[in-house]
Structure formats: structure tokens, C-alpha cells
Amino acid sequence: MAAGVSCGITVADGVKLKDCSACHLVKYCSVKCQRDHRPQHKRGCKKRVAELRDELLFARSLHAVTMGNARSVYFRCRSR
């Protein structure tokens, strides 16, 4: 069950928890909870955001290369 990182409040307590807007790994019940936890969370959050960005860039480049090869094969076949 999801719980607020700093305060331990859970979804069962009737509070809508909000994800960290950068890494989406931790949940907070309030802005105060987020601010209190920020010093502990900052380094890991930045690392995870960098990993997510790298994964996205790799996936995009892989997709572009795959699509590029498929197009060149298609055009070679049609030109014969």
C-alpha cells in the first residue's frame, strides 16, 4: 500500500497521495511533506530522472535507426 514518505499517511487514510513530479517514485500527502523530505530525496531523484531521460533518448534513437533501415530496404526493393 502506498504511503507518504515523510509522514506515513496511507491511501487507506482517505488522503490522495501525489507522486514526485520528476521521478514518480515517491508519494507525498502535502507540499509540507514533500518539502520536509526533499533533502533526503534530491540526489536519488536527480539520478533517476537522468536514467529516465537516457532510456527515452536510447529508445528514440533505436526506433529511428530501426525505421530508417526499414525505409531504406523498402526503397531498394521498389527501385529494382
Secondary structure (DSSP) of 14-50: T---EE-TTT--SEESSHHHHHHHHHHHHHHHHHHHH
Q: Coil, helix or strand for 53?
A: helix
**Residue 76 in this model has a pLDDT that exceeds 60:** no
State how far the Cα of 40 lies from the Cα of 65, in Å rounded to an integer. 39
Is residue 7 within 8 Å of 33, Cβ to Cβ? yes
Confidence of residue 66 (pLDDT cuts 50, 70, 90): low
> Which whole number is the average pLDDT over 21-37?
89
Confidence of residue 80 (pLDDT cuts 50, 70, 90): very low
State the residue for C-alpha cell 500527502: 29
The predicted model scores a pTM of 0.57
